[in-house]
Chain A
Amino acid sequence: MTTRRIIVEPRGLASLGLTLAVPAASVLLALIVGAIFLALTGNSPGEVYVKMVDTAFGSQRGLSETLISATPLILTGVAAAVAFKMLVWNIGAEGQFIMGAVFAAGVGIALGSGTPALIAIPVVILAGAVGGAFWASVSAVPKVYLGVNEIITTLMLNFIALNFMYYLIFGSSSPWRDPEVSQFPSGRPIPDSGRIPEILDSQRLDYGFFIAVAFAILAWFLISKTKWGFEVRVVGDSSDTARYAGIAVPRKFLGVFLMSGAFAGLAGSLYVAGPVGALDPRSLDLGLGFTGIIVAALARLNPVAVVPVGILMGALNNAGPSLQSIRVPAATVEMLQGAILIFAVAGEFFIANRLRRPEKKPQPVAAAEGGEA
């Protein structure tokens, strides 16, 4: 064993304080890194951050828009959290989100205005889940039955879904496209009976936010409180242990993969049935799937913690475009979010391990073993 200045040893279960402190520190460090880049390029970090807080939380309208932005992020965050917990590397929430939106808008348009809202709204929302799960299955089935790496297939399917949506709206006269508008192609509006109602008359925020929170709690319940969820966690910790315990690993894997896709698809349906009201590429092409991965990582893969983290990321997304009014690029937000993810993932090291200095007079054998207390 070579001499080392710092000894790293695994920590058993991290304290609650630590599991809260590390994500908080990740955000803080990301803000510092962002401030450095802002200052180096001649911007005022203070002004930028004040503007962001003000836009996201400073008014009723700002708060409403923040929660609207948070709604899909909560669900793509849940999608990533349940998948990553079981080491299902579903990087395709983006595409599953889009296909969820395509399915939901399609069903909403097909149902027409004659269907009662009590039936139409749940059907439209669930159509999104089906769309997302279907798109996930394109990667999940080859993964589970043929061993084809899901990272690359889910990634590629993101761009196929994106171009498919473009095709539906820009490249064809599909039922998704608004036939009334010929100048600038846009999505055909979903009839009001299929739209999720708004909470207040004055703001755009609709009940979709609460539906997203309910689904996050449902995901937490499934993972933490059911036998199925217990088996899933066993598989995530060690697939060997799971096999010895008689758990059908491939089926669990498939189930989690499809569930992850369904949550991402729900994000899509809440988006089109909520604030947007149509399959509109201009408001859907937002990188919400990737941001969901940040949400999940910062929430440490806990579906309930995803809710506050989703609101935080929604606030950032909401604040981004407003920075242009003080001549700061909206991309500042993406840079900050990337930095948050870097620190959040690095922070996992400090949650999993304890660092200490070697004792002054090390006993050769005991020092190498460590971690007995």
Chain B
Amino acid sequence: MNESTLILTLFAAIGLGTPLVFGTVGEIITERAGNLNLGVQGMMLVGAVAGFWATFNTENLLLGVIVAMLAGAALSVVHAFASVTLRVSQIVSGLALTIFGTGLSSFLGETGSEPLVGEPSKATFEPILEGGLADIPILGPLVFGHDIMVYVSWITVAAASFYVFRTRMGLSLRAVGEDPASAESAGVNVARVRYIHIMIGGAFAGLGGAYYSLALVPTWQNEPIGQAGWICIALVILASWRPSRALFAAYLFGAAERIQFTLQTLGEPWSNVPSNLLAMLPFILAIVAMLALTSGKRARFLGAPAALGLPYFREQR
């Protein structure tokens, strides 16, 4: 592998990892409140179609991003209502969100007399610097060569990290995820904290979805995100519920996704590796990571919120 192939691979890994960063950070924030939302795939897809639609009609990328975040958050409210207010199974509720969101996304893309499907986006995210700093060998493209959303994702990671570990709200958030009864005794409104952070998770999932339809695959097609939403749920564990680690975990998976193309460019014998087997790589990586990180006693040191997945019954305190 020569130097430029390596740089291209790393550069692409950052691009492909960026939606995963948004989705994973969002899900980390949701899970930190003790709520597991398996609806990421559905929320990302709804964000992808909503963002694409808004930009398609206004040619405005910022509006696309905002609409995508609102759409993701709106869908997440359904899960919040079912799992926090009605206290039914978070797992089934999240899956329902994914199935509904997947259907809704494809439906909205195909319906109407002039459907979105097959239409190229009216605006896409482009690298913000041409030449200059981006021309510095190696570091130039990797640090300065991206579109604005990559930098937004870096800021998001830093801000989420600060929020979770350094602010009062973040403290309440973690308290709710660890021990909701004690948090409630200390005056925290558990239900409200969960609602807010489920919606934040939904908004970031929507944003991640829009990065596909407005940057990575900027022509509308059904399910343009592949299995990104599911990957994000695995990445939360790999990142051990820390936003900063989500960045590196996401880029690792971005690289795993990219490796197919890289091997193609390397020629024989690398290009002979069957692409269907390479497509398994991110999923195998996720399982290996799960086995390595969460087997037996190791799981305890990973830092999963203690109340993750459990409904909270105030009456039974």
A residues in contact (CB < 8 Å) with B: 8, 37, 41-43, 84, 89, 91, 142, 146-149, 151-153, 155-157, 159-160, 163-164, 166-167, 170-172, 290-291, 293-294, 297, 328-329, 331-339, 341-342, 344-346, 348-349
Contact = CB atoms under 8 A, between A and B. Distances in A.
Contacts of A337: 99-100, 103
A89 B98 CA distance: 16
Contacts of A156: 230, 234, 283-284, 286-287
A290 B99 contact: yes
B112 A41 contact: yes
B185 interface: no
Contact of B111 (A43, A293, A336, A344): A43
Given A149-B294, A155-B233, A171 B99 contact: no
Which 7 pairs from chain A and chain B are nearest by CB? A338-B100, A334-B103, A335-B103, A331-B106, A338-B99, A329-B110, A167-B276
Given A42-B112, A338-B102, A345 B280 contact: no
A329 B107 contact: yes
Given A147-B295, A167-B277, A342 B96 contact: yes
B237 interface: yes
Between A291, A332, A333, A338, the greatest number of chain B beta carbons within 10 A of the residue's beta carbon is seen for A338
Contact of A345 (B92, B110, B234, B296): B92
Interface stretch (B6-14, B81-89, B175-183, B209-217): B81-89
12 contacts: A146-B294, A147-B295, A149-B290, A151-B91, A152-B287, A160-B283, A329-B109, A331-B104, A331-B110, A334-B103, A341-B100, A342-B97
B86 A349 contact: yes
B294 A166 contact: no
B290 A153 contact: yes
A149 B237 contact: yes
B88 A345 contact: yes
Given A159-B227, A332-B103, A346-B93, 13 more contacts: A41-B107, A149-B237, A153-B287, A156-B284, A156-B287, A160-B283, A166-B276, A167-B276, A329-B110, A334-B107, A336-B103, A337-B103, A346-B82
A317 to B, nearest CB: 12
Interface in B271-315: 274-277, 279-280, 283-284, 286-287, 290-291, 294-296, 299, 315
Interface of B: 38, 42, 78, 81-82, 86-89, 91-93, 95-113, 115, 222, 227, 230, 233-234, 237, 274-277, 279-280, 283-284, 286-287, 290-291, 294-296, 299, 315
B227 A338 contact: no
Given A147-B299, A297-B92, A345-B89, A334 B283 contact: no
A172 B92 CA distance: 37
A156 B286 CA distance: 7
A91 B95 contact: yes
Nearest to B81: A346
Interface of B is mostly: helix
Q: Identify which of A152, A163, A335 gathers the most chain B CB atoms within 10 Å of its CB.
A: A152
Given A159-B227, A331-B103, A335-B104, A171 B277 contact: yes
Contacts of B280: 159-160, 163-164
Contact of A290 (B95, B110, B276, B287): B95
Given A91-B95, A160-B280, A339-B100, A167 B274 contact: yes
Contacts of B108: 41
Given A335-B104, A341-B95, A171 B274 contact: yes
A117 B234 CA distance: 45
Nearest to A38: B111
Contact of B101 (A147, A157, A338, A345): A338
Contact of B96 (A84, A333, A338): A338
Contacts of A294: 96, 99
Nearest to A139: B287
Contacts of A8: 315
A163 B279 contact: yes
A142 B295 contact: yes
Contacts of A344: 96
A291 B100 CA distance: 11
A167 B299 CA distance: 34
Contacts of A328: 111
Nearest to A41: B111
A146 B112 contact: no
Contact of B290 (A152, A293, A348): A152
Nearest to B295: A146
A345 B82 CA distance: 8
Nearest to B238: A152
Nearest to A369: B315
Contact of A89 (B91, B296, B299): B91
A342 B294 contact: no
B277 A146 contact: no
B100 A148 contact: no
B103 A152 contact: no
Contact of A146 (B99, B101, B284, B296): B296
A167 B109 CA distance: 30
A276 B224 CA distance: 28
A152 B234 CA distance: 6
Contacts of B296: 146-147
B256 to A, nearest CB: 12
Given A148-B291, A159-B280, A338-B96, A42 B38 contact: no
A332 B227 CA distance: 21
